[in-house]
């Protein structure tokens, strides 16, 4: 995707807000055990945005961070519990929960991570190069 934004979004209660300038990249769903347990859903939809041009805007500042892998932290609102972000140590992108974006209807996942952990009753997202 090449739309430059700005892209805005945040949590359910509005305490955590963000803005990203730059293209949305790697729209995908993830079926890893961490995404499933963290969300209570069979998949979580994610997009990446460049860290350069990304900023936290809401009254809560940055989200509360929780490490789900030794080098991957997930951001959530400490008030309403909404998952909004993920970031790998040293990455030049910020992962955003796709549904936390204010405008997400035009974004279509292109792949599915951790297919082997996916529930059997939900079809896989077909790969779209």
pLDDT at residue number 48? 97
DSSP string for 1-21: ------EEEE-SSSSSEEEE-
For 17-63, how does the pLDDT look when each residue is reduced to its tens digit (9 = 90+)?
999 999 999 999 999 898 899 898 999 999 999 999 999 999 999 99
Residue 4's φ and ψ, nearest 5 degrees, are -85, -15
pLDDT, tens digit, 9 for 90 and up, residues 66-111:
999 899 999 999 999 999 999 999 999 999 999 999 999 999 999 9
CATH class for the region spanning 7-117: mainly beta
Domain residue ranges in the chain: 7-117
pTM reported for the whole predicted model = 0.90
Q: What is the pLDDT of residue 38?
A: 87
Which pLDDT score is estimated for 18? 98
């Amino acid at each position: 995707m090449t739309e430059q934004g700005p892209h805005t979004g945040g949590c359910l209660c509005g305490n955590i807000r963000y803005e990203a300038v730059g293209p949305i990249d790697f729209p995908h769903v993830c079926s890893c055990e961490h995404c499933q347990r963290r969300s209570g859903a069979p998949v979580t939809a994610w997009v990446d945005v460049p860290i350069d041009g990304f900023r936290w805007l809401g009254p809560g500042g940055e989200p509360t961070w929780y490490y789900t892998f030794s080098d991957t932290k997930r951001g959530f609102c400490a008030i309403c519990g909404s998952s909004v972000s993920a970031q790998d140590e040293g990455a030049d992108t910020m992962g955003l929960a796709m549904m936390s974006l204010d405008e997400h209807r035009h974004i279509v996942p292109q792949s599915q991570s951790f297919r082997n952990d996916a529930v059997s009753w939900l079809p896989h997202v077909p790969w779209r190069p």
